[in-house]
Chains A and B, each alone.
Chain A
Amino acid sequence: MKLLGAVGLLLLVAWGSGCGPSGTRTGQGAIIQPGERPDPSGVEADTWMAAEKFEQELKTSGRVMEDPALNRYVHGILCNLVPDYCSDIRVYIVQNPDFNATMAPNGALSLWTGMLLRLDNEAELAVVLGHETTHYLHRHTLQWWTDARAKLDALVFVQLAAVMGGAAAGMGRVGSAAGQVIGYLVQGRILAFSRDNERDADNTGLDMVARAGYDPREAAEIWKALITERDAGDKSRPSIFFATHPTEEDRIAYLESRAQRLVDGREGLTVGRAPYQEAIESWRGVWLRDELQRRDFKVTQVLLRRLIEQGSNLDELYFFRGELYRLRGEDGDIDEAIASYRKALDTGNSLAETHRSLGLALARRGDRAGARHSYENYLRLRPDAGDRKMIEFYISELK
């Protein structure tokens, strides 16, 4: 069985765990009302209970980010979108570098940090939240979970059960569950997502986004960025996301046209780049470090290129670009690393760790004086460095 992480997907997107098999009906039953709970004797009640247990597992998985400011910000966007359901939907931010978001039938929504890292602005976040919320409101999720439970003896299971189950069992499992599912896909056993449900979630989600005053044209941008990353990645490993969602060209096209109609000459729609970047600023470094740990260097390169183009906190981005090259260590990479670290330092703003990494790179290049100088800078800027004694040892060896 594949070990976790070893199978890290390029992009695992299960936008809407309610993206179920083609047997799921759209618009069946009324839209979920604010504060609605299922009839305790009905079939839906069991599903709700299962979802409550899933949420419990999620809460205790140790991978949920607790930072109050970040949680407040994200939940705030949700409440802008659907003020009536503000208290019905709980948002969990899960520390996992893959791009994903899931919605459980009882209103437990999870956003993975790999996704938050990749979104650019508030409008894009609103698009994701709107899409997920629609799956919840239109009972796609509830229907799908209920159907799945009714089909307990069925031969084929929707891969999202595995993903959800993996998520519920302690997020770290998702890698291996997803990896197994890819195996499934390759054997052609997986049912495609219901195009109807996906289309419904996109459309209603966009309407929600526009109504709340966000710019719906940002939806297509999310997809374009994902595709660029996907194209850079490992072709031999199929992406679960792209194998199960409607083709990207179609999706981008209809998202763009629907967005245009919704915008219809309106002015002053919020994109909200600055508040979004500010909200994630203190965590982006951690998420970039997690991203690098995936060791999918081509994909990370594409991501960094895009982020650098957008220009927020360049010192951090140049630092991580340097780290990418240093860790990859192919021909010519060490020089690229040195150049990136120097660019980071040129901003005048960079972390002490940039000096340490520059020192490591220069040492590898044979520049002993340069390396020593960098290590000394690091220790001066980071007096409480955990590896102080080790760096002092290097300095003494380089004299």
Chain B
Amino acid sequence: MMPRLPRAQIFNTHRLRLWKAPGKFSLVLLTVLLAAGCVQTGSLLQTEGLSVIPRKTRVLLLPTDIELYEVTAAGLLEPKAEWTNLAKTNVEEALRAELLARDDILSVYREPADKQIEHLHRQLFKLHSAVGQAIVRHKVLANQSGQSFELPTKKGRFDWSLGSATNSMRQDDADYGLFVYIRDSYTSAGRAAVIFTAALLQNFLPGGRLSAFASLVDLKTGNIVWFNLLNVPSGDLRTAEAARETMSGLLKDLPL
């Protein structure tokens, strides 16, 4: 079994209200999860006015962008197609279950017949992955490594978007889309000891970690209205149980 921290150690929440800047969106940093001695953070960003999502909103679940890696003793990451395929199945089942348990109407993405639209959607999925990484790099984990990567142009703002081409994704008249991105890596036993003595995140993908983020996107505008990052030591997403637990943690504060 892969090393995993008991959940009790994870939560140590502080509610912080950081900035409020003029303009369309303001940033309200709701929760920063700190755990002394643990190398993980989860954090949440959302735009104001989000609390008023009406019940019975239709949400489209998009395909998960997921990859699993092994961390070699030399610290290299090897992508593992086998593991990825297994984990993807587990994760998507868990996401469907999570959304069904909430009081909204779930629509699961279906590939469009039109090749051009299919291509457009694929590009939007990949764009989301890039945007999410930018959010993590420049906002959520901007101050991790002794140097700040905050963007002055994003000071007090949380206004990333995928652009209004997301309108083409309003399958079944969905108003919002949920996009999930997961990179998870597992170490061979020899490295496990190193993990727990490792310093805080130096790279986005250090060895033996799960990095998962989710975005809720307003499909009419493409604007990301809710974002959460889970960055914890790996559970084993190749098992259904761990997948359920991880997705539950990821979507805990989803305003649906």
> Which of the segments B27-35, B77-85, B157-165, B227-235 contacts the partner chain?
B77-85
8 contacts between A and B (CB under 8 A): A54-B85, A155-B188, A155-B190, A162-B79, A162-B80, A165-B81, A181-B78, A189-B72
**Chain A residue with the shortest CB-CB distance to B83:** A152
Report, as a range, how many residues of chain A touch the other chain.
20 to 34
- Rounded to whole angstroms, the CA-CA distance of A184 and B70 in the bound complex is 12
Asked if A165 meets B76 with Cβ closer than 8 Å, knowing A53-B88, A155-B190, the reply is no
Asked if A161 meets B86 with Cβ closer than 8 Å, knowing A152-B238, A155-B190, the reply is no
Report, as a range, how many residues of chain B touch the other chain.
20 to 34
Would you call B48 an interface residue if the criterion is a C-beta within 8 Å of the partner chain's C-beta atoms?
no
Output the least CB separation between B118 and chain A (Å): 9
Residues of B close to A50: CB separation below 8 A: 81-82, 85-86
Residues of A close to B134: CB separation below 8 A: none
Partner pick for B122 among A60, A145, A189, CB 8 A cutoff: A60
Output the least CB separation between B147 and chain A (Å): 20
B residues at A contact (CB < 8 Å): 67, 70, 72-74, 76-86, 88, 122, 188-190, 238
**Chain A residue with the shortest CB-CB distance to B84:** A165
Would you call A390 an interface residue if the criterion is a C-beta within 8 Å of the partner chain's C-beta atoms?
no
Asked if A165 meets B189 with Cβ closer than 8 Å, knowing A60-B122, A152-B238, the reply is no
Additional 14 contacts, C-beta under 8 A, given A155-B189, A161-B80: A53-B88, A149-B86, A161-B81, A161-B82, A165-B79, A165-B81, A168-B81, A169-B79, A180-B77, A181-B78, A183-B72, A183-B74, A187-B74, A189-B73
Residues of B close to A145: CB separation below 8 A: 82
Residues of B close to A168: CB separation below 8 A: 79, 81, 84
B79→A173 contact, CB < 8 A: yes
Most buried by A among B76, B88, B122, B238: B76
Asked if A184 meets B74 with Cβ closer than 8 Å, knowing A149-B86, A155-B189, the reply is yes
Would you call A148 an interface residue if the criterion is a C-beta within 8 Å of the partner chain's C-beta atoms?
yes
- Rounded to whole angstroms, the CA-CA distance of A251 and B102 in the bound complex is 62
**Chain B residue with the shortest CB-CB distance to A162:** B78
- Rounded to whole angstroms, the CA-CA distance of A189 and B122 in the bound complex is 37
**Chain A residue with the shortest CB-CB distance to B187:** A155
Partner pick for A53 among B67, B76, B85, B188, CB 8 A cutoff: B85
A157→B70 contact, CB < 8 A: yes
Partner pick for A54 among B67, B76, B81, B188, CB 8 A cutoff: B81
Output the least CB separation between A121 and chain B (Å): 33
Output the least CB separation between B82 and chain A (Å): 5
Asked if A148 meets B79 with Cβ closer than 8 Å, knowing A60-B122, A155-B188, A169-B67, the reply is no
B78→A180 contact, CB < 8 A: yes
Would you call A1 an interface residue if the criterion is a C-beta within 8 Å of the partner chain's C-beta atoms?
yes
Would you call A172 an interface residue if the criterion is a C-beta within 8 Å of the partner chain's C-beta atoms?
no
* B interface, over-half SS: mixed
- Rounded to whole angstroms, the CA-CA distance of A237 and B170 in the bound complex is 50
Residues of B close to A60: CB separation below 8 A: 122
B74→A157 contact, CB < 8 A: no
Output the least CB separation between B1 and chain A (Å): 8
B72→A184 contact, CB < 8 A: yes
Partner pick for B79 among A46, A53, A156, A177, CB 8 A cutoff: A177
Residues of A close to B88: CB separation below 8 A: 53
Top-10 shortest CB links A-B: A165-B81, A165-B79, A180-B76, A50-B85, A162-B78, A168-B81, A155-B188, A53-B85, A165-B80, A149-B82
Would you call A128 an interface residue if the criterion is a C-beta within 8 Å of the partner chain's C-beta atoms?
no
Residues of A close to B122: CB separation below 8 A: 60
Partner pick for B76 among A1, A148, A169, CB 8 A cutoff: A1
A 134-180 contacts with B by CB, 8 A = 145, 148-149, 152, 155-157, 161-162, 164-166, 168-169, 173, 177, 180
Would you call A49 an interface residue if the criterion is a C-beta within 8 Å of the partner chain's C-beta atoms?
yes
Output the least CB separation between B131 and chain A (Å): 18
B72→A180 contact, CB < 8 A: yes
B189→A148 contact, CB < 8 A: no
- Rounded to whole angstroms, the CA-CA distance of A60 and B122 in the bound complex is 9
B189→A166 contact, CB < 8 A: no
Residues of B close to A164: CB separation below 8 A: 81
Most buried by B among A46, A148, A168: A168
Residues of A close to B80: CB separation below 8 A: 157, 161-162, 165
**Chain A residue with the shortest CB-CB distance to B69:** A165
A169→B81 contact, CB < 8 A: yes
Asked if A157 meets B76 with Cβ closer than 8 Å, knowing A60-B122, A165-B84, the reply is no
